[in-house]
């Protein structure tokens, strides 16, 4: 029982930290204005790690590596701590299992990233129906635009209703089911 509670706490804390770092990366990549309370909160929460890393990891190819690295490290720490709580024999396994744990962390990071993107799409769709003039509506529109935009070009509105968020959600779910799950299965085979 204690083990389950500890796993839940580790997973929650590391995933929340990873979410903040990924959202900061995504806001910069999607060119979301940082002059709003949501963006300011994300910046304040992640500055402790991103600012020092920017000295060593400059942005390259329009990617904020100083935000992506802590995102991945948080997921790696979550994977390692959960396996430690489950009694994984790290001392016996040695360094040979490191690639497997790195791939498990990559799969966990990809899964979390896709869930966050699903959340952006759902929030944008709900806000567009419930309160399109909310101060948060432009922010979540900008956050979900890179996902929904390509589908809006393909899927025409039916009766004035934009179905592109639904199609985007289906495609993202397919990504979760197929490649991410396959990567996780392969990585677990390297560890066990």
Q: Are 43 and 34 in contact (CB under 8 A)?
A: yes
- The larger pLDDT score, comparing residue 161 to residue 178, is at 178
- Burial code (b: 16+ CB inside 10 Å, e: under 16) for 15-44 equals bebbbbbbbbbbbbebebeeeeebbeebbe
- Answer for the pair 190, 103: CB distance below 8 angstroms, yes or no: yes
Please check the confidence at residue 127 and state whether its pLDDT lies above 80. Answer: yes
Grade residue 109 by pLDDT with cuts at 50, 70 and 90. Answer: very high
Question: Does 176 have pLDDT greater than 90?
Answer: yes
pLDDT level of residue 103 (50, 70, 90 thresholds): very high
Confidence of residue 70 (pLDDT cuts 50, 70, 90): very high
Q: Determine the average pLDDT of the residues in 67-76.
A: 96
Q: How confident is the model at residue 94 (pLDDT cuts 50, 70, 90)?
A: confident
SS3 assignment, position 158: strand
For the stretch 12-30, pLDDT in tens is 999 999 999 999 999 999 9
- SS3 state at 39: helix
Into how many domains does the chain fold? Answer: 1
**Parent domain of 98:** 2-191
pLDDT given at position 162: 85
Taking the C-alpha atoms of residue 192 and residue 187, their distance in angstroms, rounded to an integer, is 9
Entry pTM: 0.91
Mean pLDDT of the chain: 91
């Amino acid at each position: 029982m204690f083990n389950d509670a500890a796993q839940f706490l580790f997973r929650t804390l590391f995933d929340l930290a990873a979410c903040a770092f990924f959202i900061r990366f995504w806001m910069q990549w999607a060119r979301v204005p940082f002059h709003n309370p949501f963006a300011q909160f994300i910046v304040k929460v992640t500055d402790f790690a991103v600012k020092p890393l920017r000295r060593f990891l400059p942005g390259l190819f329009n990617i904020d590596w100083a935000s992506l690295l802590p995102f991945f490290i948080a997921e790696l720490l979550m994977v390692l701590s959960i396996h430690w709580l489950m009694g994984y024999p790290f001392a016996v396994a040695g360094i040979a299992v490191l690639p497997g744990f790195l791939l498990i962390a990559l799969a966990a990071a990809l899964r979390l990233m896709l869930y966050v993107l699903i959340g952006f799409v759902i929030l944008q769709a709900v806000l567009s129906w419930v309160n399109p003039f909310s101060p948060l509506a432009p922010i979540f529109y900008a956050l979900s635009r890179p996902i929904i935009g390509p589908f809006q070009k393909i899927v025409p509105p039916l009766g004035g209703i934009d179905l592109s968020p639904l199609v985007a959600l289906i495609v993202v779910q397919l990504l979760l089911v197929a490649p991410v799950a396959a990567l996780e299965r392969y990585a677990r085979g390297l560890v066990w």
